[in-house]
Amino acid sequence: MTVPSRPAPSLPARTPRSRQILAVARDLLEAEGPEGLTMRRIGAALGIRAPSLYKHLPGKDGVRKALIADALLEIGTSLHEAVAATEESAGPAVRLLRAYRAYATAHPHLYRLCTVGELDRAALPAGLEEWAGTPFFLVAGEPYRAQALWAAAHGLAVLEIDNRFLPGSELDRTWASAAAFG
Question: pLDDT (tens digit, 9 = 90+) per residue, 45-55?
Answer: 999 999 999 99
Residue 161 has pLDDT above 70, yes or no: yes
Domains in the chain with CATH codes = 16-179 (1.10.357.10)
- In this predicted structure, what is the pLDDT of residue 181? 77
SS3 111: helix
User: Using CA atoms, how far apart are residues 162 and 46, in angstroms rounded to an integer?
Assistant: 31
User: Which long-range contacts does 37-43 make (Cβ < 8 Å, 24+ apart)?
Assistant: 37/63, 37/64, 39/63
User: Do the beta carbons of residue 33 and residue 108 sit within 8 Å?
Assistant: no
User: Do the beta carbons of residue 96 and residue 136 sit within 8 Å?
Assistant: yes
CA 181 vs CA 74, 85, 87, 112: distances in Å = 25, 19, 19, 24
Q: In terms of Cα–Cα distance, which of 89, 91, 77 is closest to 131? A: 77
- In this predicted structure, what is the pLDDT of residue 145? 95
User: Do the beta carbons of residue 62 and residue 122 sit within 8 Å?
Assistant: no
Residue 172 has pLDDT above 80, yes or no: yes
pLDDT class for 44, splitting at 50, 70, 90? very high
Question: pLDDT (tens digit, 9 = 90+) per residue, 61-96?
Answer: 999 999 999 999 999 999 999 999 987 788 999 999
Give the side-chain half-sphere CA count within 13 A for 176.
7
- In this predicted structure, what is the pLDDT of residue 1? 43
Question: pLDDT (tens digit, 9 = 90+) per residue, 102-158?
Answer: 999 999 999 999 999 999 999 999 999 999 999 999 999 999 999 999 999 999 999
Q: What is the mean pLDDT of residues 39-49?
A: 96
